[in-house]
Structure 1
């Protein structure tokens, strides 16, 4: 089986979830290096047609922006603990969807996208999560 990058993994995840990029309200992205978040935003098509750098520079991924991103601060803020770093963004996605993210809480969430990659880009994964009951 061929290895998948974010665009291919995202297409599969969206298809399996039955939704698309326009249905996502928050992006919890693996960010072992700053460029990883930009690659993921582009690969998941979460920038409304813009390139990720322009989208981020415009404040769209900040609190109150159109696509809040990695609301726990990610590994760039809390440190990278190996596998724990990737799991931390998944846990944050669950906290957000359950309404239990405290002062980081993004209101009115329904769907979240979460990503991670392993090694030196040996693999990529995309998970689409929903808080719908």
Structure 2
């Protein structure tokens, strides 16, 4: 069972974030896009936090978040967006879907670690 699901279509970003979190004591699973992320979340009830990109093929990150909340009816999982997007409209859409945080790439693990561990519990 993973504690954190990292969803990003960039293998470089996905691996960087996952490796950092694993080195800091978290159990991590990864997904290549929103469609894969939804499938992984359905299979692993232990996921407490999703760190997700916005712009991805198949299902983008914000659509994935909306599906997590509505289709999977999962209100418990915490969600942070990790993206190059900083438009207020996108952030508002994320907040409306229950996103807890918005990190603009590049990923700074040291700066985010305390918040991530708090969200995981």
TM bucket by the smaller chain? 0.3 to 0.5
Q: TM-score, normalised by structure 2?
A: 0.36
Q: Which has the higher helix share?
A: 2
Q: Which has the larger radius of gyration?
A: 1
